[in-house]
Chains A and B, each alone.
Chain A
Amino acid sequence: MGAYLLRRLLYAIPILVGVNLLTFALFFMVNTPDDMARMQLGVKRVTPEAIEDWKRERGYDRPLFVNPQASGAGRVTDTVFFDKSVRLFAFDFGRADDGRDIGREIRERMWPSLAIALPVFVLGLFAYLASAMLLVFFRATRLDLAGVVACVILMSVSAMFYIIAGQYLASKAWRLAPISGYAEGWAMPAFLVLPVVIGVVAGLGAGTRWYRTLLLEEMGREYVRAARARGLSEPQVMYSHVLPNALIPILTGVVVVIPSLFLGSLLYESFFGIPGLGSYTIDAINAQDFAVVRAMVFLGSVLYIAGLILTDLSYAWADPRVRFE
């Protein structure tokens, strides 16, 4: 187990190196820092001095890979590549264009993101599984058919319409919850209810359909027929046979996103004015703050890989037959 974990962690390193090289190539070689500076400063009437200043402020004025002017280790470390890319591995993200420390910003903003994403994730999981089980209980009946049709219709509606309709109904028409905003402490739940409910509802169609497919696939297996032949009731078959066995495919899709919950959702945080990482990313995109976008790309891949490792570990928990060698 320990050895397996270590191997997985070691395997993550080349992937992160790959992500790092890819983002470096995208941000510094496809477009040079000069292009970025010109874009930031306005294309017309920009002097070469202004560009040089812009680059110096951000440390982009050094050579990309090898600095012939520096001596010793400085030849490699005093470069854009080392400063902007290699440091990411130590979670040292540098500074944003407004001069603030990105790492600190991330540490502060991940909590509001999590406050939305975690309830959506947990409640959604239960809601979708429950409704899928309901449909599977009544499989091949009119209820099942109606449910599947409803799922397809629900998943054909853009998430933005759920948000807009939810905001309109709950905040404007019925005046149940604030339309957007965020507060710490006791006032927080009032602001969270609406985005969380909408988040769960928006995923209802796709989620229910997905779990229904998984459960039905499991339902068709031999052991289910054997269990029925032994005279077990349908709920018994469902709860003590189908559900535990469907856990592996369910975990496959679910566990991998858990670490990424920190990143929040660009859409929800922007619509509801939640000061999380999602809105941080949107602000960075709109302000064309490349340092922040690069940091988020790296963080996102770290969390995704952590999710993959967690998934493997969860297999061992769910299925005693899975062993790590």
Chain B
Amino acid sequence: MRRGLLMPAFALALPGLPLAAATWAWHQGLALPVLLWTDALVWLLVIAVLAGFWLGRRSEPLREGWRRVLADAPAMASAVVLAVFVLIGLADSVHVRLALPAAGAASSGWSVEVTSALDLVLDDLRERRERTYSAPLATHAFQRETVVGADGRSVREFPRLRHGGAHLADPETEHRADILRRGLSGLLAGLLLAVLVGVVMVALVARARAMPWRRAARAILRSDTAPDGRPAPHWLALGVTLCAIALLAGLCTALSSHYHVLGTSKVGQSVLYLSLKSVRTSLVIGTLTTLVLLPFAVVLGIMAGYFRGWVDDLIQYVYTVVESIPSVLLIAAGVLLIQVYMESNPGAFATAAQRADFRLLMLCVILGVANWTTLARLLRGEALRLRELEFVQAAHAFGLSHGRIIARHLLPNTVHVVLIASVMGFSGLVLAEAVLSYVGVGVDPSMISFGTMINDARLEMAREPMVWWSLAATFAFMLALVLAANLFADAVRDAFDPRGGARAGQGGGA
């Protein structure tokens, strides 16, 4: 009974909590909530996904599929990594405009800068800016500058950073020891967190399987299957990944209080902050694009396969036309048109963030329009196959309307196709964002994203010595995100594809 209530409570709490926090802040006169378009859609997507789980909770094939996904070690590990990224992204999807410091009695209004919950959490990281580049964990600037000394003579030297290692009196002697001390204490904190996670996990498993703690711990270490023979979640992979993340987070937190862990960018922003902010952009593009293309692909694909005849011809014609335009060019054309629209309606956006957000949303729409054809093709094939099966024929013979047959019999039986295609498409979209932003038809240049970070860093290639840290940070974050998405997608495909991992999405003759 209690377990039955857990899911809806969670579903309400996840979007509800930040909403409540924002409303409270508004009442207190601290901040004005701003609902960006992509925020609204992100939270809609969260609700839709949770509702999907709720609706499918009794469906044995779906449960079985997810059980198999979570029993797979790489899939479980990547699910944890993805969950961490999603949490970062969701924290970055609650936006407010902070109250300006009151000049006099009344508050003077709201700041034009739109800040997110993540910004507030990372306030420290965001505020402590250097003048320009500095290497990771450095105490001195990356370039020589002319400094006027105490005796009035100007010398060219590497000046001390404003924040990085500013607490050290003599960096030469203290720097290494300080980093070591802070790093170790951070790792220790991470370790404590990891141990805590491990204990909670053992306790959960012990309760679920009604066995003593020691046996539960042993079962986790050997990654046993559940007693009833069904695949059990791979607790070991979950635990190891969580521990690794805890250690990493502890290390970064401890060091970033007095250093720039990943260095700073050209305008002195912390690269760690930029990387964390890029996560949301990637997630939005990877998920909202799917949200945009789903209605097109599902409605048109299933209609084409179910009705056949002229409907099929027409829909096939439409998607062949869209498909025959090289997608980069279609996207470029679309983004150029959005630019024209935004230039001719400058008054439509109250803040720069809203403007950048509109462009991000439109990029998702354009990517969706350019990408719906593959899924539509797959669904058409699936509908063609399903409509000949006995149960659909029987529904037909009973006189059910077309709409009911599609809703009750075709849609539920194509869920796995949609699921696999959505998950498989994610990593490609994340990679595409970087390339498109480089080409100049991606996100707004003012929006922090992996694409804009690579673009900025690329120009520093020729510098001697090379500014490598922002590229390295982008590389690591993107690799973690895309690799996790790819591994997870493979597991989802293997678990849900009834044909046992047959290949999806082949190109072919019209």
Interface residues of A (CB under 8 A from B): 11, 14-15, 18-19, 22-23, 26-27, 30-31, 35-36, 38-39, 43, 152-153, 155-161, 164, 167-168, 172, 210, 213-214, 217, 249, 252-253, 256, 260, 263, 266-267, 270, 281-282, 285-286, 288, 290, 293-294, 296-297, 300-301, 304-305, 308, 311-312
Instruction: Determine whether the beta carbon of A160 is less than 8 Å from that of B325.
Output: no
Instruction: Determine whether the beta carbon of A266 is less than 8 Å from that of B328.
Output: yes
Beyond A30-B337, A39-B343, whether A156 also contacts B439 by CB under 8 A is no
In angstroms, Cα B345 to Cα A43, docked, is 10
In angstroms, Cα B502 to Cα A218, docked, is 11
Q: How many residues of B contact A (CB 8 A)?
A: 53
**Is residue B334 contacting chain A, with contact meaning CB distance below 8 A?**
yes
Beyond A18-B317, A36-B340, A285-B440, whether A301 also contacts B324 by CB under 8 A is yes
Instruction: Determine whether the beta carbon of A249 is less than 8 Å from that of B506.
Output: yes
In angstroms, Cα B503 to Cα A126, docked, is 21
Beyond A15-B317, A38-B343, A270-B439, whether A301 also contacts B325 by CB under 8 A is yes
Tell me which of A26, A35, A304 contacts B334 (CB under 8 A).
Answer: A26
The 9 tightest CB contacts between A and B, nearest first, are: A18-B321, A300-B326, A156-B483, A301-B324, A156-B482, A31-B340, A304-B324, A39-B343, A297-B329
**Is residue B434 contacting chain A, with contact meaning CB distance below 8 A?**
yes
Tell me which of B325, B454, B506 contacts A19 (CB under 8 A).
Answer: B325
Instruction: Determine whether the beta carbon of A293 is less than 8 Å from that of B333.
Output: yes
**Is residue B24 contacting chain A, with contact meaning CB distance below 8 A?**
no
List residues of chain B with CB within 8 A of the CB of A282. Answer: 439-440
**Is residue B336 contacting chain A, with contact meaning CB distance below 8 A?**
yes
Instruction: Determine whether the beta carbon of A43 is less than 8 Å from that of B479.
Output: no
Contact sample, A vs B, 23 pairs, CB 8 Å cutoff? A14-B317, A15-B317, A35-B343, A43-B343, A153-B483, A157-B475, A157-B478, A158-B434, A158-B435, A160-B434, A161-B471, A164-B454, A164-B458, A164-B461, A210-B503, A249-B506, A253-B507, A267-B435, A270-B438, A296-B329, A300-B326, A301-B325, A301-B326
Instruction: Determine whether the beta carbon of B324 is less than 8 Å from that of A285.
Output: no
Instruction: Determine whether the beta carbon of B440 is less than 8 Å from that of A286.
Output: yes
Tell me which of B479, B487, B506 contacts A252 (CB under 8 A).
Answer: B506
Beyond A15-B321, A30-B337, whether A159 also contacts B475 by CB under 8 A is no
Tell me which of B337, B461, B478, B510 contacts A308 (CB under 8 A).
Answer: B510
Closest Cβ–Cβ distance, residue A46 to chain B (whole Å): 11
Closest Cβ–Cβ distance, residue A43 to chain B (whole Å): 5
Q: Per-residue CB proximity of B427-462 to A under 8 Å, as 1/0? A: 100010011001111000000001000100010010
Tell me which of A19, A253, A285 contacts B439 (CB under 8 A).
Answer: A285
List residues of chain B with CB within 8 A of the CB of A308. Answer: 509-510
In angstroms, Cα B322 to Cα A253, docked, is 18
Specify which of B334, B340, B341, B343 lies most central, judged by the most chain A CB atoms within 10 Å of its CB.
B340
Closest Cβ–Cβ distance, residue A85 to chain B (whole Å): 14
In angstroms, Cα B332 to Cα A38, docked, is 19
List residues of chain B with CB within 8 A of the CB of A159. Answer: 431, 435
In angstroms, Cα B462 to Cα A167, docked, is 10
**Nearest-CB residue, chain A, relative to B481:** A156
Instruction: Determine whether the beta carbon of B324 is less than 8 Å from that of A253.
Output: no
List residues of chain B with CB within 8 A of the CB of A161. Answer: 454, 471, 475
